[in-house]
Structure 1
């Protein structure tokens, strides 16, 4: 999934104490949609090691999660998709239309990732924003659904 991410440091593990003041906001604005639970720490640890440690800029763990929260508060991607007719109803949706719906709302091309379920159906899994300096978002080069194909199913949220 992250072949296009550069300068990542997977050895830099998230220290939960660094984001303890943000936990309630993270629970509200950035829960795991694939595996919701009372504690999303495993999910946030994965997001940090997969995305937060990448780039030519330096954001510490607290700064990374604060920046993510600010973006999530500014733009609710689920609302953007629903307003664009792309709903978590198990339906099949065109990848290009989904990316354009998001691009028109936020001003940059997102990274969109999918997974295959046990039946081999392609499911929307993750939408990310890319940044060049840790603060300002920009197009995500080469991350438009390379694992999605031309369409995906948007499963109901748990």
Structure 2
């Protein structure tokens, strides 16, 4: 029986090529995630309004995240192309309204946006540069006006409880794709409508049915708190 001997340099080269191919692996789709600020603030942790003032009472952007079809995702793909506010100067007024930070201590949003670009946006560079990335998220927020969709279905942020199915059906009927709804819990442990996941094709053109739905715990009846 013959054995095949590999030289140390060849083995090193194989590992190097494997690492390069893994890093270059293209993502398959985006998650576009919006959150309801009333639910984020109505928790034990609470929230802080940004230095620009209290956000409007609408669903706000959390992020646009590249994902793989198996549910995993790339992260922090290019540390040489970090967030640069000067590249999105024309988008900042709209981002302050529709993509505000609610983290404490209060801030102006740049730390939040830097995190989103550095961790997620840099993994979409083959499709979107920094300006296009943020611009795409703003486009999808307009295209999926979640509060308006719920209002048309008779579902309002009035502190009442609604069936999770009715909320999902409202989004699905209006957008033509099936979303995923994530809940959080207030201090009394009531489940609340917190985040809505929609999937976007890898070229950031339109919504698609999700290849993989994130597993999120939710109750059959959930609260839609005021903000």
Give TM-score scaled by structure 2 length.
Answer: 0.55
Equivalent in 13, 16, 28 of residue 85 of structure 2:
16
Gaps of 5+ in 2: 1-64
Shift of 1:57: 6.2
Say if 2:117 is the partner of 1:78.
Answer: no
Alignment partner, residue 142 of structure 1: 213
Q: Give the equivalent residue in structure 1 for 2:13.
A: none
Give the structure with higher Rg (CA). Answer: 2
Distance 1:57 1:6 in 2: 18
User: 1:14-44 CA deviation, whole Å, 9 max, x = no partner?
Assistant: 4333322201112233345x66x78333443
RMSD of aligned alpha carbons: 3.2
Determine if the alignment matches structure 1 residue 44 to structure 2 residue 113: yes
Aligned residues: 154
TM-score w.r.t. the length of structure 1 is 0.75
* Unmatched segments (≥5 aa) in structure 1: none
Superposed displacement of residue 78, structure 1: 0.7
Matched, 1:89 2:158: yes
Q: Is the 8 A contact 1:129 1:137 kept in 2?
A: yes
1:93 is paired with a residue whose SS is strand
Q: 2:76–2:120: 8 Å Cα contact kept in structure 1? A: no
What is the CA-CA distance between 1:103 and the residue it aligns to? 1.1
CA contact (8 A) 1:99 1:109 kept: yes
SS of the residue corresponding to residue 123 of structure 1 reads: strand
Flag the 1:10–1:87 CA change in 2: closer, same or farther, 3 A.
farther
Report if aligned partners of 1:7, 1:54 keep a CA contact under 8 Å in 2: no
Report the counterpart of residue 115 of structure 1 in structure 2.
184
Q: Is the 8 A contact 1:29 1:73 kept in 2?
A: no
